[in-house]
Structure 1
């Protein structure tokens, strides 16, 4: 994987398979340390980035993977030396499909993200998490996370309840005079499909700039791509002919069908159309129907066992895919399989799922299919990370 030398130093926490890190690297950030607990993810990172595993001999080595518990990693060596700290603190406690134990779940790693900010004092940070964190039932905890990131030096006392800590943070936040380290934090809920990713995937972002950085960051949630533009192309444009779709298979589903009735041929949307699953994987051989051709492509093998059940019907080829899911006890069926026009279904191959997450084609994932899908299901789409990264880099450059 090539890197652009720009001098924008960063570190990546909870790196997973590297989706956020790749996109930020494409935006010009160079990770000096990459921290990840899962061994398969670490193998993936090392294989694709020429990483130096736990090598302290070169403190400036990019993509130096530190495998292990982040609670045992110090970030003091990076104090005032970084442009960015980024990562995706484990999100299972907040997932809509999880157990919703945000307040007392031991897997909540946001305190470690705050510690990294406190020790490294970067000019900016980008953290991401699932949409579930914005649920009304998590409103107080969402604010708690945001205030900790804004005031990382106001640490919880021993045995202090999170709600008492929240109260102290609120008082500090509204104080007339505040000393120490502070960040200006903006939160955004983004749908990846609106940014050219062939997947409906919503992620919440925490973007912060240190108080002494004169940044005026903002970001349009609606992006550059829309469903209306896709439906217009399918209704009045040449979408079907362009992809040589048989007339019997030219079907709009659900909301797209309703939207088509409201569109006018004379009013073509100015935005770009959402990218579809078909567009993401159209040039790959079907691993079920053409296994020999598929076998010549890394991570592109047929996975048997896909089935439809209530609420899990697969992703339609001519829409962005459903959100790829990592699953708690295995891989959920409907989110990680495609549905053909005739109603038949099959699981996405690892390569197809990587395409849907906009990973580069030369990116090799390690582990069995279920493990690779877990890595991809937890990842940030590379293209979304790149777009966000470029907007943050622009502010840092202008504030320099």
Structure 2
């Protein structure tokens, strides 16, 4: 059953206890930045390269806690001197290095692609020495052809101070990392305990099938005990609710299927997913919660809603099928030229098709309706497609905040008593 607990948390207030401080990298459209702030983290700095995305962050500055925005290429804008000022002051470094090198929708150039920003992430970690790291990226990192390099990335994060030297190919550096980590030597404050968790956002209440990898790391000297958050939503329970009719009772406006089970025969990569205690949220759920979105009008906004402009007569073809309303939306993509499904299409109850509005897409990404987006439609959709769903980010930000509080706050209280 769909409950209010599925919704994204409310904005922080002055009374909300602070979880700590954070540095947000590759901020993009602000999904993870918003999630971190709502979990109680104060952003000491946000960095983003794309001018339109930077303007989006400025437009939503209040919702993000008014962070300092550093605009520009991380390699030059986020200087070592700036990082030195933050050393010892950062609890969490969060971000998703640009996903194109590893995206299943891209051309799979992987680690040879100059857009690989993981080295910059490691530089920031060395400069700030955070207590924890949260990193989101595409499931393409798990492709068999990329696995050796992905394992190398994880080892780099385990030992970020074992730096790659000029002229050293990554395989040589990886061998040095293996030896260093096998020896169990090194300063614990310069090592991290790393976990990589494959996730489907739908299993955490996001109304979208979105496969990603979340990497979480804690500094080794802190001995933080952390268990990945459990899945909360289930494909099987959605199928059950549709079979029993409970789902259709919740949505009386929806056309009921002629056969029991409705959409249970829809095939998704990976098959049924049975974890969680609540049913998957559907596109229809998203369009009605927290308040129903009216059907869009072609060419103009509906009163009371922004970015909700209808575009009719969308085409469907092989590799570009529509979103069904009574199933989680397909993965929102950035609309990169040549990537199948880069434009999101929705099937109406009468069988016709239209393009999803930007506001509908933002709902699927669990952004609040107050969230602003800069640029034309294509740019707004690109920002949404590259973002972390706010609710998914919240789950992991809250989990990391709780682990830091449970493992570190007692030590602080002891230190204060002894002072």
- TM-score normalised according to structure 2 size: 0.85
- Separation (CA, whole Å) in 2 of partners of 1:146 and 1:156: 14
- Separation (CA, whole Å) in 1 of partners of 2:63 and 2:293: 29
Q: Shift in Å at residue 213 of structure 1?
A: 1.4
Q: Shift in Å at residue 176 of structure 1?
A: 3.8
| Structure 1 residues without counterparts, runs of 5 or longer | 53-60, 263-267
Asked if the contact 2:335–2:378 (Cα under 8 Å) also holds between the matched residues in 1, the reply is: no
Q: Which residue of 2 aligns with 1:182?
A: 191
What SS does structure 2 have at the residue aligned with 1:97?
A: coil
Paired residue for 1:255, among 262, 265, 271?
265
Any residues of structure 2 matched to 1:1-400 within 5 Å, and which? 2=12, 4=16, 6=18, 8-50=20-62, 62-72=66-76, 73-74=78-79, 75-179=83-187, 181-220=190-229, 223-247=231-255, 252-253=262-263, 255-256=265-266, 271-282=277-288, 283-288=292-297, 294-304=302-312, 306-329=314-337, 332-333=340-341, 336-400=344-408
Q: Measured at CA, do residues 62 and 174 of structure 1 come closer, stay the same or move farther in structure 2, by a change above 3 Å?
A: farther
Q: Which moved more, 1:140-149 or 1:304-313?
A: 304-313
| Structure 2 residues without counterparts, runs of 5 or longer | 1-10, 409-419
What SS does structure 2 have at the residue aligned with 1:294?
A: coil
Q: Shift in Å at residue 177 of structure 1?
A: 2.2
Q: CA RMSD of the aligned region, Å?
A: 2.5
Asked if the contact 1:298–1:351 (Cα under 8 Å) also holds between the matched residues in 2, the reply is: yes
Q: Which residue of 1 aligns with 2:5?
A: none
Asked if the contact 2:25–2:47 (Cα under 8 Å) also holds between the matched residues in 1, the reply is: yes
Cα deviation per residue 1:128-179 (whole Å; 9 max; x = unaligned)? 1001111010011101110111111111110110111111111111014223
- Separation (CA, whole Å) in 1 of partners of 2:265 and 2:93: 39
What SS does structure 1 have at the residue aligned with 2:101?
A: helix
- Separation (CA, whole Å) in 2 of partners of 1:380 and 1:269: 21
Asked if the contact 2:159–2:190 (Cα under 8 Å) also holds between the matched residues in 1, the reply is: yes
Q: Shift in Å at residue 5 of structure 1?
A: 5.2
Q: Measured at CA, do residues 115 and 316 of structure 1 come closer, stay the same or move farther in structure 2, by a change above 3 Å?
A: same
- Separation (CA, whole Å) in 2 of partners of 1:51 and 1:343: 38
Q: Measured at CA, do residues 329 and 92 of structure 1 come closer, stay the same or move farther in structure 2, by a change above 3 Å?
A: same
- Separation (CA, whole Å) in 2 of partners of 1:34 and 1:269: 34
What SS does structure 2 have at the residue aligned with 1:136?
A: coil
What SS does structure 1 have at the residue aligned with 2:392?
A: helix
What SS does structure 2 have at the residue aligned with 1:298?
A: coil
Paired positions, count: 382
- TM-score normalised according to structure 1 size: 0.89
- Separation (CA, whole Å) in 2 of partners of 1:388 and 1:201: 15
- Separation (CA, whole Å) in 2 of partners of 1:320 and 1:350: 17
Q: Measured at CA, do residues 229 and 122 of structure 1 come closer, stay the same or move farther in structure 2, by a change above 3 Å?
A: same
- Separation (CA, whole Å) in 1 of partners of 2:276 and 2:143: 32
Cα deviation per residue 1:248-267 (whole Å; 9 max; x = unaligned)? 55672363599xxx9xxxxx
- Separation (CA, whole Å) in 2 of partners of 1:42 and 1:2: 22
Q: Which moved more, 1:188-197 or 1:61-70?
A: 61-70
